[in-house]
Amino acid sequence: MTETDRNIAFPEGETRRSISPGGEKWLGVRIPLLDHGFLYLVDYMGNDDSIVQAARVSYGMGTRATSESAGLIRYLLRHHHTTPFEMVDVKFHAKMPIFVARQWVRHRTASINEVSARYSILPQEFYIPDVNVLAGQSGSNRQGRSEVISFEQAIAVQTLLEADAERNYKTYNYLLNDDGIGNPVDPNRDMLARELARMDLTLNYYTEWYWKANLYNTLNFLRLRMDSHAQYEIRVYADAMAQIVQDLVPHTWSAFKDYTLEAVQFSGPELIIIAKYFQTLGLVLDNSAIAELAVESGMKKREREELIGKLKQLRGEK
- Taking Cα atoms as reference points, which of 114, 134, 106, 109 lies closest to residue 205? 114
What CATH number corresponds to the domain at position 26?
3.30.1360.170
Enter the pTM of the model: 0.85
Domain identity same for 152 and 254: no
74 and 95 share one domain: yes
The answer on pLDDT for 302 being more than 90 is no
Beta strands in the chain (DSSP E): 31-33, 37-45, 89-97, 111-114, 135-137, 145-148, 206-214
What's the total number of domains in the chain? 3
Structural domain boundaries, residue 108: 17-120+206-261
Q: How many residues does the chain have?
A: 318
pLDDT in tens, 77-88: 999 999 999 999
DSSP reduced 3-state for 210: strand
97 domain residue, yes or no = yes
Domain boundary among 168, 200, 232: 200
212-to-20, 93, 107, 263 alpha-carbon distances in Å = 17, 9, 11, 27
Query: Nearest 5°: CA angle at 260, between 256 and 264?
Result: 150
Q: Indicate whether 116 and 144 sit together in one domain.
A: no
188 and 69 in one domain? no
Instruction: Please check the confidence at residue 66 and state whether its pLDDT lies above 80.
Output: no
Poorest-pLDDT segment among 25-29, 70-74, 199-203, 299-303? 299-303
DSSP string, 229-247: TS-HHHHHHHHHHHHHHHH
| 217 shares a domain with 109 | yes
Residues serving a catalytic function are: 225
**Inside any domain, residue 8:** no
Q: Cα-atom radius of gyration of the chain, to the nearest Å?
A: 26
Maximum mean pLDDT: which of 138-142, 150-154, 271-275:
150-154
**Spatial CA neighbour of 130 closest among 150, 156, 158, 111:** 158
Contact 90/212 with Cβ under 8 angstroms? yes
> Would you state the pLDDT for residue 316?
67
Is the model's pLDDT at 2 over the cut of 80?
no
> Is residue 193 domain-shared with residue 54, that is, in the same domain?
no
